[in-house]
Structure 1
């Protein structure tokens, strides 16, 4: 095969060897046309679907938050790029880092509630970790290729991560004081967890270390409604959404199947079923195991027809997949697509 044919083959992801040099360019050109036609067909189908829909404004983005390390504090941002695997700003990405046990099993605030006390700032392509009674530690987001690739498990699903080194491992071990821990980082060339292994959904996407989807949305009206029912008020930090919407009614987000925010398009996967993670006090790192979960169960259980999806867990917030990548920011209007 000639150099030009090889280059085209590489771009198309096709093997180079089976195509004779004399026919290589023509065959690859046909393949390229076929791929282009398929992409055009998908775009046309999408436009046809959009023609029958209109935008209805349902609110405004009031907060955007990236949670770099699963179960640690979030990093509020004014704007973010929404990729197929979730939020990012530069090399700071949502839930691309994970604390694990030495056997590779994930560790979250469900098992180690004090993880919520670990704060993270982002400067010069480095994560800066701070926690009570601990010296800060700095971790570059670009790790040496010599660092080991760890096999990990999240909710019984296998995934990999590059080990972040001994210094940060010893830091988490010293802070949590229970056993030895490591920190790993997901890299974009790794295979994410596939949606159909996580949830009973027809949506096709991958995630790194989030529980279930690339984007999690909650309205401030829903939180306000919950707080009218609680003796001790809770905050958004108990629920860890990526995007908070203001200007809508309580639990209206349950009804938003397709959203447009900035130049991003999102599609509802399902509501977010809640667990004891919500009972960890973000200010003290103490797990209550009761509230606000018990109050949510008193009025936010699913319809009986959806028990196969949510069982006995209460619903609070919504998981979304990304149908069009792009950028959004605080202050953006939130539009629902309606017929």
Structure 2
């Protein structure tokens, strides 16, 4: 397969050909908004291909992708990953089919802003940059839990980029040079969470190049709106901790003791509730301020529970290659 070389134009504008890979499972409801965001990109349309990978969906995802490919004025390539039910396996299918030296990633439920791709690719003008992470911002939310997560910047890359073991970017907004996959391997196809960190860490450990953050490359994503969704999200974070501990030796999260929980709840009742209640009366605080501590304790319990119950499957250690 011939891969298109980097394109340096005479106007000093850096617009290499880019392949954007999007894994999709039952994304029929999200696809109209996603396609609209892709159509609105400021990046030159002839320099981008969008590889939308259906991961064995049971809805009309594949039909929608195929229809969009026929009628949209951008290059959409419908792909399928039917063998392995995993977003990482679907991404590998996209990587293998990609025609470009720079491969970008986002998800079906993300909303890339107009300058997303242009800003995400820009740092690659420096040849020592191998990974670029963009920012993940919240879509407007109305529920208490969405407002809490927004206040905490739960989705922001600033947390992953500041990881004490090694920085990494989330695949909701990430771009990687093809050569990095050739040298470090593709995603672990049977891994169900933690694959973003695993991929970045393997690349960085090989000293293939450096990671750079592009804050202007923004995608928006929904926060979890219900306690069930929030618990599932934080249990997944806990499973990721366990898997990455077994794969890379990162430190596991320590459980909060009953004494520590008691102290935090007592401080909340005796100090934070009266203080924030007064502020709320003066319209200087909201319900989010009032309930921030118990929600934080809830997510912490869910995360530790996910870590404690997780066990890395043997097949999840497998690394795919070209």
State the TM-score, normalizing by the size of structure 1.
0.23
Larger Rg: 1
1 or 2, which has the higher helix percentage?
A: 2
1 or 2, which has the higher strand percentage?
A: 1
